[in-house]
Amino acid sequence: MARAHVEGLRTSDALTLQVLAGDLLRYPLCRLDPRSLCDLLAWSESEELPVQLTRDLHKFRQQMLREYNDLPDGDPLATFLKDLQGVDADRIPESLRSGVVMREDPESLPLVQEARDALLVHFEKAEPAPVGGRSAPVIQMERVRGTRVPQSAKEKSPETRSASRGPARRTQAKAKAPVDTARFEWVREDVLSRLSDYPDRGLKQAMLVAGARHRAPWKDLKEQEIVSVLKALAAGNRIRLEAGRWRMVVRYR
């Protein structure tokens, strides 16, 4: 059975998206082409859509992740994971990546574990790309001697430039955001706890990041914060990155 797919979802404006996505939002996971699934989930992470469309996309995301978690271990789950590998890495949104990472089952069948590991490697090829069409640049027009010309094309005299600037302002360098010690320590302990459970295999960075964000008491914990903790632990020789996996450093006495 052919799965539903609509091209142009990623670059649509809000009005067009409402038209294109209307039917797709009612399809079950198994009836959606992985490309359209990724595009709609990517839009569900956007904060620039009308309220009702945002709500519909949030419900869609919850339903899709629920159906993904309900896929039986074996051929159905392995097939879905393999199909996602056929989608460009930058097209796969953060919500779906996190869903895949969070469904971590050491007891899964070998064919599922193999497909999942291959998909995690695929994720690392590119970060999720933003959605949304590019609007044409707005050119400010100004009348000059009866002719409309772009503001940027009109030459300004030194006096005009000086007047347009107004009073001189001192440019202040942006100060670095202070490190939140509580968050840093929480992530540090979470990472070390997770890695201690996998002393031999270690864990991929995507799994550590998604797991920490899922368990964190803060909803706004960013990937960069977790990565900075990983780098700090590596600099302190507590963990190291080998073959794409973070592992605890074994200390001998």
165 found inside a domain: no
87 found inside a domain: yes
pLDDT at 232: 85
Which residue in 147, 96, 154, 103 sits closest to 123, CA to CA? 96
41 found inside a domain: yes
Looking at the structure, do residues 102 and 189 belong to the same domain, yes or no?
A: no
Angle at 68 between CA 67 and CA 74, to 5 degrees: 115
pLDDT at 176: 42
Q: What does the pLDDT look like over 203-213, one tens digit per residue?
A: 888 888 888 88
3-state secondary structure of 105: coil
Containing domain of residue 195, as a range? 181-248
Kindly indicate the confidence band of residue 155, based on its pLDDT and cuts at 50, 70 and 90.
very low
Q: Which residues contact 26 (CB under 8 A, 6 or more apart)?
A: none
Q: Is 60 exceeded by the pLDDT of residue 79?
A: yes
Kindly indicate the confidence band of residue 148, based on its pLDDT and cuts at 50, 70 and 90.
very low
pLDDT at 171: 41
- Choose the weakest-confidence range: 53-57, 82-86, 141-145: 141-145
Average pLDDT, the chain: 80
Percentage of the chain surpassing pLDDT 90?
34
> Which of 77, 105, 123 corresponds to the end of one domain?
123
- Choose the weakest-confidence range: 29-43, 66-80, 162-176: 162-176
Give Cα separations from 129 to 20, 92, 122, 167 (angstroms). Answer: 20, 8, 14, 40
Q: Is 50 exceeded by the pLDDT of residue 32?
A: yes
Looking at the structure, do residues 102 and 186 belong to the same domain, yes or no?
A: no
155 found inside a domain: no
> Which of 123, 144, 160 corresponds to the end of one domain?
123
pLDDT at 244: 81
Kindly indicate the confidence band of residue 31, based on its pLDDT and cuts at 50, 70 and 90.
very high
Looking at the structure, do residues 23 and 118 belong to the same domain, yes or no?
A: yes
> Which of 100, 123, 146 corresponds to the end of one domain?
123
> Are 237 and 194 contacting, i.e. CB atoms less than 8 angstroms apart?
no
Kindly indicate the confidence band of residue 150, based on its pLDDT and cuts at 50, 70 and 90.
very low
192 found inside a domain: yes
161 found inside a domain: no
Looking at the structure, do residues 27 and 111 belong to the same domain, yes or no?
A: yes
Mean pLDDT of 174-192: 74
Mean pLDDT of 183-201: 87
pLDDT at 59: 94
Q: Is 50 exceeded by the pLDDT of residue 132?
A: yes
Q: Is 80 exceeded by the pLDDT of residue 161?
A: no
162 found inside a domain: no
- The count of domains in the chain is 2
Looking at the structure, do residues 99 and 190 belong to the same domain, yes or no?
A: no
219 found inside a domain: yes
- Choose the weakest-confidence range: 19-28, 30-39, 54-63, 154-163: 154-163
